[in-house]
Amino acid sequence: MTEAIISGMLQKELFTPSQITVTNRSDQERLSYFEKKYKINVTYDTKPLIEEADIIILAMKPKDVAQGVMKIAPYVRENQLILSVLAGVSTNTITKLVGKDVAVIRAMPNTSATIGKSATALSLGEFANGKHLQIAKTLFETVGIVTTVEEHDLHAVTGLSGSGPAYVYYLVEAMEKAASEVGLDQDVAKELILQTIIGAAEMLKTSPKQPSLLRKEVTSPGGTTEAGIKVLEQYKYQDAMVSCIKRATERSSELGST
């Protein structure tokens, strides 16, 4: 996610490489990669890095947030903006760790940010205002579309769109396996599957019709689609997907309470 954000900001020329500095806990090889590929600054000198920054983006693993934020907290100023992409970690948690009335905005992008197609939701912390929101929107629009939600809804966003790409990839895995078992060439199957998903997504995006109606329009009585749908119903496909998203939502909440 860090690389996707950096790439997006640079491709859209929101910032120049000289305006971006990256650090991490101890992975020097990763920092060298960023420095070489994107010509950005890298450092382990935390004090000047944080003191001179206008925007601080937190992108460590959620379990490392306390250690990471407490390390930079002494150098954070109240007129800075902290953007967090940490699943399940509340703005209030970050504010308390910093120990100052600093503006914090949570963002929940997804891995499609890598190709500029993320669906990102933003939520404002106690000390963030409309100006901070506009900065965050501008930044995350470099990697896809952006919407704003109440913070209590971010767990649901995490379970739905944050984890969502993996659900689609899992579906494609199953379709590829099925294609192999019915005798289709792997390369031919992949091309057909991808275009099917792209076409269906474009139909959903451009058509005013509900997904249920679009599905029914493809499903002729007694036809092949109906036969396939009946099997999905037999295996409770929709129930499984609902349970999947609910469990991912619950897990996001659990991560926030640890």
Structural domains of the chain sorted by starting position, each given as residue range(s) with its CATH number in brackets: 2-157 (3.40.50.720), 164-257 (1.10.3730.10)
Tens-place pLDDT, residues 156-177: 999 999 999 999 999 999 999 9
- What is the distance between the alpha carbons of residues 124 and 26, in angstroms, rounded to a whole number? 30
Residue type, 251: R
DSSP state for residue 71 in the 8-state scheme: H
Q: CA 11, 140, 20, 87: dihedral to nearest 10 degrees?
A: -130
According to the model, what pLDDT value does residue 32 have? Answer: 96
Tens-place pLDDT, residues 108-138: 999 899 888 999 999 999 999 999 999 999 9
What whole-number percentage of the chain has pLDDT above 90? Answer: 92
- What is the distance between the alpha carbons of residues 227 and 236, in angstroms, rounded to a whole number? 14
Partner residues linked to 84 by β-bridges? 58, 106
Within 10 Å of residue 142's Cβ, how many Cβ atoms?
22
Band of pLDDT at residue 258, cut at 50, 70 and 90? low
Alpha helix locations (H) across the chain? 2-11, 28-38, 46-51, 65-72, 91-98, 130-140, 154-157, 164-181, 186-206, 211-218, 224-234, 237-257
